[in-house]
A and B are shown apart, each in its own frame.
Chain A
Amino acid sequence: MDHPSLTSEKRPHWLAFGRELVWPRANLTLLLVLPTLLFLACFLVAPYVNMLVMSFRNPSTSNVFAPGYTVGNYTKALTDPYYLTVLGQTMLFGIVTTIVCLVLGYPVAYHLARTSSRWKGFLYVGILSPLLVGVVVRCYGWIILLANNGLINDALKKLGLIAGGLKLMYNPFGVGVGLVHVFLPFMILPLVSAIQSIDPTLEEAAQSLGATRTRIMRRIVIPLSLPGVQAGSILVFVLTISAYVIPILLGAFKIKIMPTLVIQLLIDAFLWPFGAALAFILAASGAAVVFLFLRLTGRLMKGVV
């Protein structure tokens, strides 16, 4: 974004307090970014490097880790069927949540992208507002609704539709509802911008040439919105496999997935090296699924264009 009319020596020096002061350009402007760089080096890069080292430390029963290094944490996690099951379950939750969000989010995104209603602003707020409310609050809302003596069961009983209570919470269904609710806006927003960037005259042209609505969606809108599908799906998937609050509040430790397991190991059992290894395995597995997904959809997108 270099402005063409500005040569490098004429570019303004933001922190020079007078024109007479001629400071070497690089040194001065670098002061703008240096605090942030130092901050990130200390509190982002160093902690991640430290966590990587931690995952290779020897476990200890009396301290958080013992001297010496090992790959045992990784081999233990990758050979124990228990941890592999939990990992598989986590990925499954991620994939199912992503698909449900895509199916529910696509119509909403299409509507929002194409509507000329004067309520458009309000519709945006409707999608953004859940994002501005903390995840604990949103889960609590679902607890009121889904609990055994909650609002839905109460209403159904009083209307005489059911005799006993429906089990809506503390099972995969409840956790799924919470996950979809909390992460749906992250699917809708990228989809809206992808669909908005498709020229509406393409659809009009297809329609005037006699294509049905289904055919227009299948051959034009959906293929051209694939970048938005990619972005939204990756966001929802990554957020789901690292979700912690929702599985605990709506699953009550009965739903074992990686984030809750790792935090339990770290806080209750103090198994730091092993917990670090599990966290990295979760991140690597998530990255592998995202990579596979990109390869698959990339092929689809090439077939389109």
Chain B
Amino acid sequence: MVQARLRARARRTVFLAVVAAVYGFLLLPLVIVILASFNAGELLTFPPKGFSLRWYVHFFNSQPFMDSLFFSLRLAAMTMVLATLFGTSAALYVVRFAGRWRDGLRLLIVAPLLLPEILTAIALLFFFYNIGLGKTVIALVAGHVLITLPFVFLAVSSVLYNFDTSLEEAARSLGADRFTTFRRITLPIIKPGVISGAMLAFIVSFDLFAVSLLLKGIGTVTLPIQLFDYVTWDFDPTAAAVSTVSIAITLFIVLLAERMVGLRSLRF
């Protein structure tokens, strides 16, 4: 009996150790990147060489990196606005009014998420070249909105499905017109879904790779592409500083959304 209990405890310990090791594996590279960005040496050595901000100075003085950082932020903001408008209105229609078309429409709108991004990127490259818009900002924005639209759509529709429609009926029966009902009842209730969807759209667009790679033109190079080009040839910690700044931007967006709505509303 004692032996069995001991064996059970040993097994539990091994199990927890494996779980902890996998968490460590998941978080290790992120921690390493952040550490490397503050390290004084050319390489992150063991033990580290000391604290320095020189790689951040190098990053902020690098014209290509700064250009691509601001371009990425502008592109992500534009993408977020468009994807949120499209995704929210489409979710309202699909959940409320689509009737027998609901499943088909949902599949069509979520399709960019199900199709491999690289395939979509290739298709967009051919298409924009054929219609004479290759390597323009329009192509890039369209590609980013296409990939991020499903995130907004899913976030908003998951809130809509749990929506108590009797609230709207109550408002209407108390004399509110449709627009007032929408503005005062529907919009506040779906707000968490809209905001978390918008947040996801921004983050996904900010980190998007394949579409940005194939549709990039002169002056429309996003930060991940610039970083990729740099890291392909050069391992110095400037890339770590760039990475840490981009992690910080993502974190800021997540915290902002958390402050606005609380991310418990976020469902996958």
Residues of A near any B CB (own CB < 8 A): 1, 3, 5-6, 11-19, 29-30, 32-33, 35-37, 39-40, 42-44, 46-48, 50-51, 54, 64, 104-105, 107-108, 111, 123, 126-127, 129-130, 132-145, 147, 149-151, 154-155, 158, 181, 184-185, 189, 213, 238-239, 241-242, 244-245, 248-249, 259, 262-263, 266-267, 272, 275-276, 279, 282-283, 286
B81 CB within 8 Å of chain A: no
- Whole-angstrom distance from the CB of B102 to the nearest CB of chain A? 8
A233 CB to nearest chain B CB (Å):
15
Show 20 A/B contacts (Cβ-Cβ < 8 Å), sorted by A.
Answer: A14-B92, A16-B178, A16-B179, A36-B86, A43-B127, A44-B108, A47-B127, A50-B126, A51-B122, A108-B22, A111-B15, A136-B228, A137-B246, A140-B240, A141-B33, A158-B46, A181-B26, A213-B11, A242-B117, A279-B122
B67: CB under 8 A from chain A? no
Q: Once bound together, how far apart are the Cα atoms of A143 and B227, in whole Å?
A: 13
Q: Which of B92-136 contact A (CB under 8 A)?
A: 92-98, 105, 108-109, 111-112, 116-120, 122-127, 129-130
Contacts of B228 in A (CB 8 A): 136, 245, 249
- Choose one: A64, A241, A245; the contact of B209 (CB below 8 Å): A245
Least Cβ distance of A251 to chain B in Å?
12
Taken together as a complex, chains A and B put the C-alpha atoms of A105 and B32 apart, in Å, by 22
Query: Chain A nearest CB: distance from B8 CB in Å?
Result: 7
How long is the Cα–Cα vector from A248 to B108 in the complex, in angstroms?
32
Complex interface bits, B73-99 against A, C-beta within 8 A gives 1, otherwise 0 = 000000000000111011011111110
| Contact between chains at B45 and A154 (CB < 8 Å) | yes
Q: Specify the chain A residue showing the minimal Cβ separation from B142.
A: A43
For A30, the closest partner residue in chain B by CB is B93
A136-B227, A137-B33 as given contacts; A32 in contact with B92, CB under 8 Å: yes
Q: Is the pair A144, B240 in contact by a Cβ cutoff of 8 Å?
A: yes
* Number of chain B interface residues as a range: 35 or more
- Tally of A-B Cβ pairs under 8 angstroms: 243
CB distance from B126 to the nearest CB of A (A): 5
Distance A73 CA – B151 CA, assembled complex (angstroms): 35
| B interface: dominant SS | helix
Chain A nearest CB: distance from B173 CB in Å?
10
- Residue among A14, A35, A132, A249 making CB contact with B231, cutoff 8 Å: A249
In the complex with contacts A19-B178, A144-B44, A130-B36 CB distance below 8 A: no
Shortest Cβ distance from B98 into A: residue: A33
Residues of A within 8 A of B181 (CB): 12
Given A39-B86, A51-B123, A134-B206, are A111 and B19 also a contact pair (CB < 8 Å)? yes
Query: Which B residues are in CB contact (< 8 Å) with A19?
Result: 177-178
Which residues 158-192 of B sit at the A interface, judged by CB distance below 8 A?
161, 165-166, 168-169, 172, 177-179, 181-182, 186
Q: Which residues of A contact B97 (CB under 8 A)?
A: 11, 29, 32
Q: CB of B29 within 8 A of chain A?
A: yes
